[in-house]
Structure 1
Amino acid sequence: MDLGLKDRIAVVTGGDSGIGKATAEILLKEGAKVAILNRSFDEIDDLKSFGEPFPVKADITSLEQVEAARDQVVEHFGRPAEIVVHSAGITGAVGDFLDDIDDEGWMHTINVNLMGTVRVCRTFIPDMRKAGWGRLVLLGSEDAVQPYIEDMPYCACKAGTLNLTKNLSKAYAKDGVLTNMVSPAFVETAMTNAMMRSRSEERGISMEEAVSSFLAENRPGIEVGRRGKVEEVAAVIAFLCSNQASYVVGSNWRVDGGSVSTIST
């Protein structure tokens, strides 16, 4: 299927690793011109075999840095971004709601995961509106609709992102800017690898045993019985960035192995 992405200008935040990097790869393969926004760069050299990714250092907790990144994209490619995939984020503060997570933990998680999303959207949407065409894909999580009591700040941020997605779709679809959300669950990334290493060390078990026990104890709803792959998420994101998704707006696409039990959103 031709996704119609050749020569489109795309920005991927958090594209140095994980889902963001896999998304940058598939967009490059489809012929898009891709800028990767990240705080640092360690792992993108292998993307050069698929195209010429443009690295831009930016911290999404700073509006000034995000705006400067937008300007660098325009200068480098000669025109503004038409596609933005916002993948950057953190696990944030975790633990018991009463005993472990203080105001600072809450605010740091919100500043990165929710307000970082707001900053990226505020910065890049105006150019898309002016052009009359745009694709905005926000990375959510199963946590947006399914509570995990040890991850309340993260869950709250992803629920906020889901609501933001719907609001942005209502506000700007009429201008040609289509906003959607993709919600993965327990995908094999640096974030979940760190979680599993910690579990492995705490229990004195192998990584494989850590993953299998976590699935059994914490994610029994994942019907396929494994962690997801970043390329499985990236494939859905690429579709939502394409001309093929021209009638898809304000939706939440789960790529979660069946983890979420409810049939609503």
Structure 2
Amino acid sequence: MKIDLSGKTAVVSGSTLGIGFAIAWGLAECGAAVVINGRNPPGVDDAVATLKKDFPDAEVRGVAADLGTAEGCAALVKAEPTADILVNNLGIYQLQDFFEIPDEEWTRFFEVNVLSGVRLSRAYLPGMLEKKWGRVIFLSSESALNIPGDMIHYGFTKTANLAVSRGLAKRLAGTGVTVNAVLPGPTLSEGVGEMLGEDAKKAGVSIEEAGVNFVKEERPSSIIQRPATVEEVANMVVYAASPQASATTGAALRVDGGVVETIT
């Protein structure tokens, strides 16, 4: 299968590092014009420069905007008014006990993890509908199904991503525009690497070995028995964005390594 996204423009939120950058890289490799987004201009510039170095012929642009706010989403849309592919990747997470999570943290997680995707979808979908072709992909998580007891506020936003993506797919029935959610499991991104760094140092092991230990201890139902790589998650997103995925919509596409104990 050869995925060709030439002539398509892809906007990827939160894409300067980690899964988001891997998605942007995969889309650029397939010929899409890619819009990188992050809050900090230096980080955006670095990510754009890396993509241009890896793909000299690719069209790559960057927009620095805080998509956790309505103003930031509006700034991105003003800078990049149209998209054929929208990947709502932006997300935050934090270990925190339920009784210690104040109201403002619940609101912040909802604004960043849920409303950013709602706002961008609302802005870009009319253009996709005019073309009768488009792809919207929400990055959810296995935590949407296995709500973690130590970050319930995160899990609730990931479940909300599933609800929005499924409902939006039904709203767009028969239009040629698909909407899907991708559910990563434990993934060895930069953020997770930082989280595991102290444990790795104490145990005298590599970050990769610490990741394997984490999965075996904290996600023992994992079938692959290791964290996924960011590239493995990005591969599923690139497929969902492709013309070949035209019959896939309203789906929850799991890249969780088999962590979730269901067959549906």
Indicate whether the TM-score tops 0.5. Answer: yes
The corresponding residue for 1:134 is 134
The corresponding residue for 2:92 is 90
- Runs (4+) off by over 3 Å: 198-201, 203-210
The corresponding residue for 1:53 is 60
- The offset of 1:205, in angstroms, is 5.1
The corresponding residue for 2:156 is 156
1:65 lines up with 2:72 in the alignment? yes
Say what the alpha-carbon RMSD is for the aligned residues.
1.7
AA aligned opposite 1:24: A
Deviations 1:92-128 (A, max 9, x none): 4x32212x21212212111111122212212211221
AA aligned opposite 1:250: G
Distance in structure 2 (CA, Å) of the matches to 1:170 and 1:33: 28
AA aligned opposite 1:89: G
What SS does structure 2 have at the residue aligned with 1:69?
A: helix
- The offset of 1:67, in angstroms, is 2.4
Deviations 1:67-99 (A, max 9, x none): 23123224xxxxx2110111111114x32212x
What SS does structure 2 have at the residue aligned with 1:117?
A: helix
Deviations 1:12-48 (A, max 9, x none): 1111011111111111111111111211242412211
Deviates more, 1:223-232 or 1:64-73: 64-73
The corresponding residue for 1:247 is 247
Distance in structure 2 (CA, Å) of the matches to 1:39 and 1:173: 34
Structure 1 residues 109 and 198: CA distance shift in structure 2, 3 A? farther
The corresponding residue for 1:259 is 259
Structure 1 residues 252 and 227: CA distance shift in structure 2, 3 A? same
Distance in structure 2 (CA, Å) of the matches to 1:38 and 1:52: 18
The answer to whether the Cα contact below 8 Å between 1:91 and 1:191 also exists between their aligned partners in 2 is: no
Question: How many residues align structurally?
Answer: 256
- The offset of 1:176, in angstroms, is 2.1
1:192 lines up with 2:192 in the alignment? yes
TM-score after normalising by structure 2: 0.91
AA aligned opposite 1:222: S
The answer to whether the Cα contact below 8 Å between 1:3 and 1:242 also exists between their aligned partners in 2 is: yes
The corresponding residue for 2:33 is 33
Distance in structure 1 (CA, Å) of the matches to 2:261 and 2:204: 29
Aligned residues: percent identity? 34
Instruction: List runs of 5+ in structure 1 lacking aligned partners.
Output: 75-79
